[in-house]
Amino acid sequence: MLTPQHLQVNGRNYPWMKKPVVVVCVDGCEQEYINQAIQAGVTPFLKKMAAQGSVLTGDCVVPSFTNPNNLSIVTGVPPAVHGICGNYFLDREANQEVMMNDAKYLRAGTIFAAFSEAGAKVAVITAKDKLRSLLGHKMRGICFSAEKADQATLEDNGVDNLLELVGMPLPSVYSAELSEFVFAAGVKLLASQRPDIMYLSTTDYIQHKFAPGTPGANAFYAMMDHYLTQLDALGAVIGLTADHGMNAKTDSAGKPNVIYLQDVLDARVGVGKTRVILPITDPYVVHHGALGSYATVYLSEGVALPDVARKISALSGVEVVLTRAEAAARFELPEDRIGDLVVVSERLTVIGTSTTRHDLSELHLPLRSHGGISEQRVPLMFNRKLAPIPSDHRLRNFDVFYLAMQAAA
């Protein structure tokens, strides 16, 4: 099959790669994790990337959550185009919170679908299963999650016998091993099947637990470094980025700084007048108690928006309150899937709904989370020198495939 020299996906022109491209999305990878791991001397490959490759910083999508950013990375466009702006939005007619992890909510095709359609061999490996159906939408090739690696079949996932291939037992969904399985499978597949494009997307279980430079974090990055070394040795062009950063959300004794926004609005605006949606909410909340630094608020008819916005802005720990139109413009979000107001809290503060709806009993370590503008800066690292980037280009994490493919062309 003749392959084209370039391929247009969502208005961007991707060069066809001559070497395998591996893009790694390290979930919750605040840049400081890498910096401190290098300092601790446990990640020689990441250190080498700075000297021999390219180290840049990019902005992720706000809300700085996993799904909107993974979808931006694999489509190359912001949520205004691909439609996924969180895990939940409010279906106003049904007055019901709707999960957005079904491919029917996706408004743009992925780089994987386009390239596999054009003949490229593609492999996509995610840690959690929640992302698999979105990432694998309409693509041919290999696509599975570490979480359900034992259930992968040739028919559904393009690969089977994964536990045997990888040589690891099925990891727990709450573990560092879930991410390690992603890397280990990536190395085995690159060696055995040599896909043209591979995407490895981890989970931030470790980053929610451990601060940069602490033993638990350094061990994770040392593990990652080990597998990156192998991917590099196999000749891959590697691009590494993150879906979002990660920050402590506590005071000096480790108590979380939480604005229970629904409680505040019920008391100050009236019960039933507003509905606070936390798009971080997902079925896996143990490690962050569904608390992030971003919320969207729907107002009942007749409620004065400027008044509510003012009341929220006055709360200590709130960074910015935007109207739907302002938020859609500033963060490139789909207007029909965000509320009347978007609220972003400061670096050390998270937003909850009501005290009774957050179970913090499973939070055995001081809360670390994300969602805000404070988690927008993420690493963009490559094991190749890149061509100079125009100084007026605002680098985004969703430039990673474009840049890696250019380096592999």
Residues found near a second copy in the complex (CB under 8 A): 29, 31-36, 38-40, 46-47, 49-50, 55-57, 211-214, 248, 250-255, 257, 316, 347-348, 365-366, 374, 377, 379, 381, 394
* Closest approach of a second copy to the CB of residue 69, in Å: 17
Query: What CA–CA distance (Å, rounded) separates 135 from 111?
Result: 10
* Closest approach of a second copy to the CB of residue 210, in Å: 8
Nearest to 8 by CA among 115, 85, 82, 92: 115
Evaluate whether 88 touches 100 at the Cβ level (below 8 Å): yes
Q: Which is nearer to a second copy, 18 or 255 (CB)?
A: 255
Q: Which is nearer to a second copy, 49 or 134 (CB)?
A: 49
User: Phi and psi of 268, rounded to 5°?
Assistant: -100, -20
* Closest approach of a second copy to the CB of residue 385, in Å: 14
Bond before 334 cis per omega within 30 degrees: no
Q: Give how far Cα 405 sits from Cα of 112, 127, 322, 397, Å.
A: 13, 23, 36, 14
At 144, the amino acid letter reads: F
Evaluate whether 98 touches 90 at the Cβ level (below 8 Å): yes
Q: Which is nearer to a second copy, 104 or 394 (CB)?
A: 394
Q: Which is nearer to a second copy, 316 or 356 (CB)?
A: 316
DSSP state of 250: B
Q: Which is nearer to a second copy, 35 or 133 (CB)?
A: 35
Query: Tokens standing for 60?
Result: 């992720």
Q: Which is nearer to a second copy, 92 or 255 (CB)?
A: 255
Q: What is the 3-state secondary structure (H, E, C) of 166-226?
A: HCCCCCCCCCHHHHHHHHHHHHHHHHHHCCCEEEEECCCHHHHHCCCCCHHHHHHHHHHHH
* Closest approach of a second copy to the CB of residue 252, in Å: 4
Evaluate whether 68 touches 282 at the Cβ level (below 8 Å): no
Q: Which is nearer to a second copy, 330 or 377 (CB)?
A: 377
* Closest approach of a second copy to the CB of residue 138, in Å: 33
* Closest approach of a second copy to the CB of residue 193, in Å: 30
Q: Which is nearer to a second copy, 122 or 373 (CB)?
A: 373
Q: Which is nearer to a second copy, 275 or 396 (CB)?
A: 396
Query: What CA–CA distance (Å, rounded) separates 405 from 254?
Result: 43
Vertex 244: Cα angle to 238 and 250 (nearest 5) = 140
* Closest approach of a second copy to the CB of residue 344, in Å: 14
Q: Count Cβ neighbours within 10 Å for each residue of 136-169 and write b for 16 or more, e otherwise.
A: bbebbbbbbbbbbbeebeeeebbbbebeebbebe
* Closest approach of a second copy to the CB of residue 57, in Å: 5
* Closest approach of a second copy to the CB of residue 140, in Å: 34
